[in-house]
Chains A and B, each alone.
Chain A
C-alpha cells in the first residue's frame, strides 16, 4: 500500500514540478541556474527519503526500479533521436572534434585519480573499481546547457561568436559519456565472466533491432495514442531487456533512437520526437527526486572526494578545452580556451549514475552518487559566473 501511495505522490510531484519549475527567477546568477535546472528536486527527494520523512525508504526505492529503467530508456532514446546525420551537417565539423577531445580529456582527468583512490579506499575487485571510476568520469564529461541559456538569452553577450560553439559542444559531448558507460557496463565482472565483446555486440544488436522495429511500425500513419503506445512499448522492450541482461538501457536506446532518426520516415520521426519530448521534464524531475531519496552522504570524507572531483573535472575541462581550441579552432575565436564555459553539469550525468546504481549496487556506487550530486550542486552555482567571464573575455 505504501508503495502505491508513494509512487502516486512522486508522480504527482514530477508532473507538477515539470510544469512549475525550470523557470527563470530573479535571483543571483548561480541560484537562478540552480532553480532553472530543477536541482532543488534532489533536496525534495532527500526530504522524502530515509534521511528525513522516510517515505521513500530503501525497499520502496527498490520497488520503483522498473520506473527508473523506463526513465533511463526514455532519456537514451530522446538523446539518440537527435543524431540525424542529415541535420548534423549544419554543425561545423571542427565542433565535433572539440566536443570529443574535451570530453575524452575530462574523462581521463577524472577517471585516473579516482581509479587509484578507489583502489586504495575500497576492497573491491579491479573491474568493479574500474567500472565506478569510468562511470564517474563519464558523468563528469557531460556539459549542461542551462548555464549558457541563462547567461545569453535575450542579452547582448549572445552575439559573441563563441556562443554557438559552446552551445553545440554542450549538446554533443554527452555522447562520449553514454558510450563510455555503455562499454564499461559490458565488462566481464558484471556478466559472470563472459567476454565484454559479446555484450557490446548484444547491446548494439538490441539497439538496432528496437530502432528498426520502431522505424517499421511508424511507417504506417498512426494516431497520437498509437504513437505513444509504440514508443512506450519499444523503450520498455529495449530497456527492460537491457536491464535484465545487466546492460545499459541508455546506450541500447541511444542506438535505437539514432536508427529511428536516420531510417524512419519523417512523419514517424516527428511523431516519436514529439512523444519523447513531452515526457522529458517529468522524467528528469522523477530522477532528481529518486536520486535525492537514495542519497546517503555517509562520512564527511565524501566532501573531500567531491572537492577532488570538482578540481579534477575543472582541470580536465580546462586542459581539454584549451587543447581542442588550439588544435581545431582559429586563435581569433577561442584564444583563452573554452574550458571554463563548459562547467555546468548536464542531466546525462545523473542518468549515468542512476544507470550505474541499477546494474551494480554497493557502498562504492553510493559514494559515486554522492560525489556527482555534490559536484552538480556546486557546478550549477559557480558554472554560469565562470561562463559569463569566458564570454566577456571573448572578442
Chain B
C-alpha cells in the first residue's frame, strides 16, 4: 500500500487531477490548500491585486493525499494525468510522489476494484 501525494501548483488543473483519480478508482483523497514556498518568500508588492494575496486567491497550491492500494497504479495514473494535460514533467504544474505505508486502518481498499 502507498500514500499518494500530489503538490499541485496550478489550481486550474484540480478538476483534471480529481477526474483522473476517480477514473483510476482512487477514492477517499483529501484536498488541502497551501501557499507555495515562492509566495511566502516573495517580496512582490501587489499594485491592484492585494486582496487576492490576503484571501488566498493567488499563489496557492493544492495538496492531494490519497491511499493507493497498489504501487503499480502509479504508472497508469501518471499516464492518464498527462493525457488530460497535467504533465508533472513541467515544473510549474507540480510534483507527484508516493510513500510506502506501514500502517493503515480504514475500509479495505484492496478489494475496491
Residues of A within 8 A of B (CB): 22-24, 36-37, 75, 78-79, 81-84, 87-88, 90-91, 145-146, 149-150, 153, 164, 167-168, 170-172, 174, 221, 265-271, 273-274, 276-277, 280-281, 284, 346-348, 351
Q: Using an 8 Å CB-CB cutoff, how does the interface string of B73-97 with A read, 1 for contact, 0 for none? A: 0000000000001000000000000
* Residues of chain B contacted by A346 (CB below 8 angstroms): 47
Show the binding face of B for A, using Cβ within 8 Å. 10-16, 43-52, 54-58, 85
Residues of A within 8 A of B48 (CB): 75, 78-79, 174, 280, 284, 347-348, 351
- Per CB-CB distance, the 4 closest pairs between chain A and chain B, nearest first, are A270-B12, A82-B51, A87-B55, A171-B50
CB distance B14 to A280 under 8 Å?
no
Evaluate whether A267 and B15 lie within 8 angstroms (CB atoms) in the complex, with A88-B55, A171-B50, A171-B51 already known.
yes
Q: B45: which A residues are within 8 A, CB to CB?
A: 22, 36-37, 145-146, 149-150
Contacts of B46 in A (CB 8 A): 145, 280
Residue of B nearest to A88 (CB): B55
- A341 vs B7: C-alpha distance when bound (angstroms): 38
Complex Cα spacing A36 to B47, Å: 11
Chain A CB within 10 Å, residue with most, of B14, B47, B85: B47
Q: Of A79, A172, A267, which contacts B49 at CB under 8 A? A: A79
Report the separation of the CA atoms of residues A170 and B49 in the bound assembly, to the nearest whole angstrom: 11
Residues from chain B with Cβ under 8 Å of A88 in the complex = 55
Which A residues are in CB contact (< 8 Å) with B56?
87, 90
- Dominant SS at the B interface? loop
A-B contact pairs, 22 of them (CB 8 A): A23-B43, A81-B57, A83-B51, A84-B57, A90-B55, A145-B45, A145-B46, A145-B47, A153-B43, A164-B54, A167-B54, A170-B50, A171-B50, A266-B11, A266-B12, A266-B14, A267-B14, A268-B12, A271-B12, A273-B52, A346-B47, A351-B48
Report whether A221 and B85 are in contact in the complex, using a CB–CB cutoff of 8 Å: yes
Contact A171 B54 (CB under 8 A): yes
Whether the Cβ atoms of A22 and B51 lie closer than 8 Å is no
Residue from A145, A150, A268, A276 with most neighbouring chain B CB atoms (10 Å): A145
- In the assembled complex, how far is the CB of residue A34 from the closest CB belonging to chain B, in whole angstroms? 13
Q: Which residues of B contact A170 (CB under 8 A)?
A: 50
B4 CB to closest chain A CB, in angstroms?
Answer: 21
Question: Given B11, B16, B47, which contacts A270 in the complex, CB threshold below 8 Å?
Answer: B11
Residues of B within 8 A of A167 (CB): 50, 54
Closest Cβ neighbor of A351 among chain B residues: B48
Report the minimum CB–CB distance from A47 to chain B (whole Å).
22
The interface residues of chain B lying within 8 Å CB-to-CB of A91 are 54-55
B80 to chain A, nearest CB (A): 15
Q: Closest chain A residue to B52 by CB distance?
A: A82
The answer to whether residues A82 and B55 also contact, given A280-B47, A347-B48 and a CB cut-off of 8 A, is yes
Smallest distance from the beta carbon of B79 to chain A beta carbons, Å? 18
Q: In whole angstroms, how far apart are the Cα atoms of A265 and B50 in the complex?
A: 22
Cα distance A372–B75 when bound, in Å? Answer: 60
In chain B, what residue has the closest Cβ to A33?
B45
Residues of chain B with a CB closer than 8 A to A270's CB: 10-12
* Docked pose: A153 CA to B15 CA in angstroms: 35
Do residues A168 and B12 form an inter-chain contact, with CB atoms below 8 A? no
Bound-complex Cα distance A277 to B53 (A): 11
Please name all residues of chain B whose beta carbon is closer than 8 Å to the beta carbon of A351 when the two chains form the complex: 48
Q: Which residues of A contact B55 (CB under 8 A)?
A: 82, 84, 87-88, 90-91
Cβ-closest chain B residue relative to A347: B47
A-chain residues with CB within 8 Å of residue B54 when the two chains form the complex: 90-91, 164, 167-168, 171
Chain B residues with CB below 8 A from A79, complex form: 48-49
